[in-house]
Amino acid sequence: MSDAQAAGKQVVPLAVALEKLSRLEQENKLAEADDLANRMLEAMPKHPHILHLAGIIAYRNGRIAQAVERMETAQALAPDVALYPRNMCEVYRGAGQLDDALRAGRRAVELAPNEARAHFNLALIHYERLELDEAVRVAERAIELDPEFAEAHFEKAEAQLLAGRMKDGWESYEWRFRLKQAEGMLPKTDKPQWDGAPLPPGRLLIIGDQGFGDCIQFSRLIPWVASLCPQPVLACSGELTPILRQIPGVGRMVTRWEDTGDYDVYIPLSGLPRLAGIDTDNVPPAGYLTPDPALVEQWGARLNRLLPEGKKRIGLVWAGRPTHKNDKKRTLKLAQFAPLFARDDVVIVTVQKGEQIAQVGDYYAHAPLINLGPEIGDFLDTMAILKNIDHLVTIDTSVVHLAGAIGVSASLVLPYAPDWRWLLGREDSPWYPSVRLYRQDKPYDWSGVIERVAAAL
């Protein structure tokens, strides 16, 4: 009888334990995985694969420094295992260590030159470093190895679009519906996608896919669609119906697949720019949404009562939806807007929604601040409030699309490698002329950005 058995412990073969650890991580049972990883590390502290998996689990649990330490040890113990640098590439990216990420990504490709995922991970790092040609080239190599690799196609699309190569980008962008996270975005149907040809009234189904911001951004193309296919049915989430109803040409609006009725073809909203041949120089103008005048008056009166006179009203959004894949990159803490709060001539009106409004409880800076988020019911409220402020300062979230769509002046703070729609190296946006862009100078580093926003007010 071994010592473990003598102590009443169950003895499990290592391979079984490793398989279980991996499964727990994949099933998102992170606390259980953490516990098992720690016990396995206690028994075998120098086993590279335990260390590697334990690193991934630490990363998933938000302990990034520990993840890096564990995974670096694993790699030092087994320098020729391609999986390790491949995964480390992503962990380094999460840690904001892009040089290390690049090194790990290249090492992974070197060790496994025929593995598509290694190339894909490296492409992601190139995107983050704004090495867009390299990102496209490496993503294409991943696609060569695995032509059905949807994520690589999508990564290529994002790099092409960010670089302003819109025509190529739109084509690759079509792969977005084959991504795992796109499941359920489109109806289960054997009907074809619309090809841009005219149709009788009511025979086209438009689908508000992607996030709220995307829908607001692309809805400007609905009048063009309606000129070819009158009264298209628009399927979108209930939050969007009050504002998208305003777009000229929209037919029936539905919020459930079973209500769409019969149709001949469908098209996602995000597929319209490709069909319409949108490039940076032919974007249909903003101003296609209009706040409800009664609500504008109502919120105006309320703000007049709540806010001191004689100060610039600055709207503020500092955090996005935490489940967004790039939220960590785009979201700030309220306190990081300190240079804005130090101005004597402003009053802050937060239009932030969600759990992050709790940060207002820690606000003690110079400028008066009104936490309006708790009273905002829907996008109509948000638009009416935006009409009653002097300027919006925001991260990349749906509110900037609303401001842009109704022509409200806004400062948008962007990460070093932003979402493709904000393009590169410019302070303006062809999509929203009223929005001015403020970009990070270095990846993951907001220093200087808010100072520039505050100084320009």
Partner 1 sequence: MAEQAWPLQDHTVLLDDQAAAATKYFNEKKYAEAEALALKILDLAPNQRMALRVLYEVRKAQNQVPAALALARRLAALPGGAPQRAAAHAQLAHYLVGLGRHAEALPAAAAALKATPRDATAQHVMGVVLTETGDFLAGERHYRQALARLGREDGLVLANLAWNLKQQGRLAEAKTLYDQALALRGDNPRGIGGAAQVAFARGERARAEALLDDALRRWPEDRPLRLLRALADLAQDRAQAVLDRLSPVERLIAPEFLARGQAQDRLGQLREAVTSFATARRIQRERAGLTYQPAPLTARAAAYQSYFTADRVQPLPRAAAGPFTPVFLLGFARAGTGLLEQLLAQVPGFAVGDAAGSFEGLADAVPRLAASEHPYPEALDDLLVGDNQQLPEQLRQMYEEQRARLGLLRPYIRFITDRAVGNAWHLGLINLLYPEAPIIHVLRHPYDLMLANIAQDRKLEGNAHAGLPALAHYYGLHAEMIRHYRGQLTLRYLPVRYEDLVADPAAVLAEILAFIGGTAPVPAAEILRANAGPLPEPQPAHFIFREPVHTRAAGRYRAYLAAMPQLFAEVQAELAPWIERLGYTVEEARA
Residue environment code for 205-240, b if the CB has 16+ CB neighbours within 10 A, otherwise e? bbbbbbbbbbbbbbbbbbeebbeebbebbbbbeeeb
* Separation of alpha carbons 296 and 299, rounded Å: 5
Binding segment for partner 1 (CB under 8 A), chosen from 3-11, 40-48, 71-79, 369-377, is 369-377
Kind plus residue range of the DSSP H or E element containing 220? none
Tell me the closest approach of the beta carbon of residue 402 to partner 1, in angstroms: 20
In the numeric block, which tokens belong to residue 242? Answer: 């009050």
Binding segment for partner 1 (CB under 8 A), chosen from 222-230, 356-364, 390-398, 415-423, is 356-364
Tell me the closest approach of the beta carbon of residue 164 to partner 1, in angstroms: 41
Which one of 36, 357, 399, 412 is in contact with partner 1 (CB under 8 A)? 357
Tell me the closest approach of the beta carbon of residue 323 to partner 1, in angstroms: 18
Tell me the closest approach of the beta carbon of residue 367 to partner 1, in angstroms: 11
Residue 363 near partner 1 by CB under 8 A: yes
In the numeric block, which tokens belong to residue 15? Answer: 């391979």
Which one of 27, 110, 259, 375 is in contact with partner 1 (CB under 8 A)? 375
Sign of the dihedral defined by the CA atoms of residues 332, 338, 344, 348, in that order: positive
Q: Could you tell me if 168 and 136 are in contact, meaning their C-beta atoms sit under 8 angstroms apart? A: no
Tell me the closest approach of the beta carbon of residue 375 to partner 1, in angstroms: 5
Tell me the closest approach of the beta carbon of residue 309 to partner 1, in angstroms: 7
Residue by residue, DSSP assigns 6-25 as HTTPPP--HHHHHHHHHHHH
Cβ-based neighbour number of residue 441 at 10 Å = 11
Q: Nearest CA to 398 among 446, 455, 338, 353?
A: 353
- Binding-site residue total for partner 1 (CB under 8 A)? 24
357 contact partners, CB below 8 Å, separation of at least 6: 350, 371, 373, 374
Residue 372 near partner 1 by CB under 8 A: yes
**71 vs 334, which CB is nearer to partner 1?**
334
The sheet with strand 265-268 has its strands ordered as 253-254, 233-235, 204-207, 265-268
Tell me the closest approach of the beta carbon of residue 369 to partner 1, in angstroms: 8
- Helix (H, G, I), strand (E, B), or coil: what is residue 50? helix
Residue 312 near partner 1 by CB under 8 A: no
Binding segment for partner 1 (CB under 8 A), chosen from 95-103, 136-144, 363-371, 449-457, is 363-371
Residue 358 near partner 1 by CB under 8 A: yes
Residue 81 near partner 1 by CB under 8 A: no
Using CA atoms, how far residue 381 sits from 212, 219, 280, 299, 375, in Å, is 15, 19, 31, 8, 9
> 329 — phi, psi (to 5°)?
-75, -35
**72 vs 381, which CB is nearer to partner 1?**
381
Binding segment for partner 1 (CB under 8 A), chosen from 102-110, 289-297, 315-323, 373-381, is 373-381
Beta 346-350 vs 369-371: how paired, if at all? parallel
Angle (deg, nearest 10), helices 83-95 and 48-60? 30
208 contact partners, CB below 8 Å, separation of at least 6: 215, 219, 234, 235, 236, 237, 240, 244, 269
Which one of 77, 360, 390, 451 is in contact with partner 1 (CB under 8 A)? 360
Tell me the closest approach of the beta carbon of residue 142 to partner 1, in angstroms: 43
Residue 344 near partner 1 by CB under 8 A: no
Stretch 290-309 residues interacting with partner 1 (CB under 8 A): 302, 305-306, 308-309
Binding segment for partner 1 (CB under 8 A), chosen from 105-113, 126-134, 367-375, 378-386, is 367-375
Which one of 365, 390, 433, 452 is in contact with partner 1 (CB under 8 A)? 365
**94 vs 368, which CB is nearer to partner 1?**
368
Tell me the closest approach of the beta carbon of residue 370 to partner 1, in angstroms: 7
Which one of 160, 217, 371, 440 is in contact with partner 1 (CB under 8 A)? 371
Tell me the closest approach of the beta carbon of residue 336 to partner 1, in angstroms: 15
Sign of the dihedral defined by the CA atoms of residues 20, 32, 108, 121, in that order: positive
Tell me the closest approach of the beta carbon of residue 352 to partner 1, in angstroms: 11
Residue 336 near partner 1 by CB under 8 A: no
Residue 332 near partner 1 by CB under 8 A: no
Q: Could you tell me if 355 and 319 are in contact, meaning their C-beta atoms sit under 8 angstroms apart? A: no
In the numeric block, which tokens belong to residue 227? Answer: 């000129």
366 contact partners, CB below 8 Å, separation of at least 6: 341, 342, 343, 344
Which one of 113, 261, 374, 448 is in contact with partner 1 (CB under 8 A)? 374
Cβ-based neighbour number of residue 335 at 10 Å = 13
**81 vs 338, which CB is nearer to partner 1?**
338
Stretch 376-415 residues interacting with partner 1 (CB under 8 A): 377
Kindly list the residues in this chain that would bind partner 1 in the complex (CB under 8 A).
302, 305-306, 308-310, 357-365, 368-375, 377
